[in-house]
Structure 1
Amino acid sequence: MKIKHYFPVLVAALTFLHACKKDDNESLTPTTIGANPAAITGKYANGFFIANEGWYGHGSGDLHFYDYSADTLRLNVYAAENPGKTLGGSTNTLQFATVFRNKLYIVVKAGGPLVVTDAGTLVETARLTTTPDNDGHAFLGLDSTKGLLTTGGGVYPITLPGLVAGTKLPGINSYSGDMIKVGNYIFVHAQTEGIVAYNAATLTVARNFGVANLCFAQGKDGAVYAAKSDSLLRINPTTLARSAVKLPFTISSPWGAWRHSAITSSTTDSTIFIVRNNGFMGGTTLYRYVIGNTASLATPFITLPTGQYFYGAGAAYDKHNNTLVVTTINGPYSGSVNTVLRYNATTGALINSKVFNGWYFPAMPVFQP
Structure 2
Amino acid sequence: MRKFYLLIVLFLFAFFTNAQIKVQGVLRNDIPGKTTSQLKVAASTATINFSDIRYWVGTGSNQAALVIQWNDSKNPDALVWGFRWDGNATGEDMVKAIAKADHRFLTLMYQGTPQGTAIGGFGFDLDGQNANALYYNGNTASPLYPVNGIVNTSAYNFDDYTAVDANDHWESGWMSKGYWSYWVKNPSNPNFGYSSVGASSRVLQNGSWDAWNFNPSFNSVPISSTMTPVSPYVSAAGLMNLTKKTNTAKTTNFTDGFFMVNEEWFGHTNGSVNFIGNNGQIDYRVYSTVNNNHAFGATTQFGTIYGDKFYFVSKQAADGGDTQYTPGGRLVVANAQTMQKIATFNTIGGADGRSFLGVNEHKGYIGTSNGVYLFDIDNLQVGSVIAGTATSGGGQYSGQIGNMIRSSQYVFAVKQSEGILIIDPKSDTLIHTIAGSFNSIVQAKDGSIWAIQDQTLINIHPTTFATQSYNIPTTQYSDSWGAWNAGSFTASNTENVLYWIKAGSGWDPGKQIVKFDVTTKAFNENFITIPGQTSTYKQIPYGAALRVNPVTGALILNTTESGYGAHFQKNWIHTFDSNGNLTDTKTLIDYYWFPSLAVFPDNTAPVISSAFPSQVTATNVTTIDLKTIISDDDNAIAAIVKTVKSNNNSSVVSATINVNDELILTPLATGTADIVISFNSNGKVVEKTLTVNSIASTLTTVDVKKLEFSIYPNPVTDVLYIKTQEKVINVSIYDASGKFINVQLNNGQINVNMLPKGMYIIKAVTDKAVYQQKLIKN
Pick the TM interval, shorter chain: 0.7 to 0.9
Aligned to 2:254: 44
> Which of 238, 244, 263 pairs up with 1:53?
263
Report which structure shows greater RCO (CA 8 Å, sep ≥6): 1
Residue 252 to residue 341, structure 1, CA distance change in 2 (3 Å): closer
> Which of 142, 157, 162 pairs up with 2:379?
162
Q: Is the CA contact 2:290–2:339 (under 8 Å) kept in the aligned structure 1?
A: yes
Aligned to 1:317: 548
Q: Secondary structure at the match of 2:511?
A: strand
1:43, distance to aligned residue in structure 2 (A): 2.1
> Which of 254, 260, 264 pairs up with 2:480?
254
Instruction: Give matches, 1:9-158, under 5 Å.
Output: 43-68=253-278, 70-88=279-297, 92-111=298-317, 112-158=329-375
Aligned to 1:300: 526
Aligned to 1:351: 583
Instruction: Give matches, 1:230-245, under 5 Å.
Output: 230-245=455-470
1:280, distance to aligned residue in structure 2 (A): 7.8
Rounded Cα–Cα distance in structure 2 between residues aligned with 1:230 and 1:115 = 35
Aligned to 1:4: none
1:64, distance to aligned residue in structure 2 (A): 0.7
Question: What is the identity, as a one-letter code, of the residue corresponding to 2:312?
Answer: I
Q: Deviations over 1:48-84 (max 9, x none)?
A: 100000101111121110111x122211111111103
1:161, distance to aligned residue in structure 2 (A): 3.6
Aligned to 1:339: 572
Aligned to 1:7: none
Rounded Cα–Cα distance in structure 2 between residues aligned with 1:131 and 1:171 = 17
Q: Secondary structure at the match of 2:288?
A: helix
Alignment of 1:180 with 2:405, yes or no, is yes
Q: Is the CA contact 1:103–1:117 (under 8 Å) kept in the aligned structure 2?
A: yes
Report the TM-score when normalising by structure 1: 0.83
Rounded Cα–Cα distance in structure 1 between residues aligned with 2:275 and 2:518 = 32
Q: Deviations over 1:249-293 (max 9, x none)?
A: 122432221111211111221111011134886321110001143
1:294, distance to aligned residue in structure 2 (A): 4.2
Identity across matched positions, percent: 30
Aligned to 2:97: none
Q: Is the CA contact 2:299–2:314 (under 8 Å) kept in the aligned structure 1?
A: yes
Rounded Cα–Cα distance in structure 1 between residues aligned with 2:362 and 2:529 = 43
> Which of 343, 358, 366 pairs up with 2:599?
366
1:127, distance to aligned residue in structure 2 (A): 1.3
Question: What is the identity, as a one-letter code, of the residue corresponding to 1:66?
Answer: I
* Segment of structure 1 superposing worse, 350-359 or 155-164: 155-164
Rounded Cα–Cα distance in structure 1 between residues aligned with 2:583 and 2:563 = 23
Rounded Cα–Cα distance in structure 1 between residues aligned with 2:343 and 2:540 = 35
Q: Is the CA contact 1:216–1:261 (under 8 Å) kept in the aligned structure 2?
A: no
Question: What is the identity, as a one-letter code, of the residue corresponding to 1:291?
Answer: V
Question: What is the identity, as a one-letter code, of the residue corresponding to 2:372?
Answer: V
Report the TM-score when normalising by structure 2: 0.40
Rounded Cα–Cα distance in structure 2 between residues aligned with 1:300 and 1:332 = 24
Rounded Cα–Cα distance in structure 2 between residues aligned with 1:144 and 1:182 = 15
Q: Is the CA contact 1:283–1:332 (under 8 Å) kept in the aligned structure 2?
A: no
Aligned to 1:191: 416
Structure 1: state its 5+ residue gaps: 1-41
> Which of 212, 228, 248 pairs up with 2:453?
228
1:171, distance to aligned residue in structure 2 (A): 1.9
CA RMSD between the two structures: 1.9
Rounded Cα–Cα distance in structure 2 between residues aligned with 1:242 and 1:235 = 5
How many aligned residue pairs are there?
323
1:46, distance to aligned residue in structure 2 (A): 1.3
Aligned to 2:431: 206
Instruction: Give matches, 1:267-278, under 5 Å.
Output: 267-278=493-504
Residue 57 to residue 250, structure 1, CA distance change in 2 (3 Å): same
Q: Deviations over 1:345-369 (max 9, x none)?
A: 2x10001010112100000000112
Q: Is the CA contact 2:400–2:415 (under 8 Å) kept in the aligned structure 1?
A: yes
Q: Is the CA contact 2:351–2:370 (under 8 Å) kept in the aligned structure 1?
A: no
Alignment of 1:286 with 2:513, yes or no, is yes
Rounded Cα–Cα distance in structure 1 between residues aligned with 2:436 and 2:503 = 18
1:215, distance to aligned residue in structure 2 (A): 1.6
Rounded Cα–Cα distance in structure 1 between residues aligned with 2:545 and 2:280 = 20
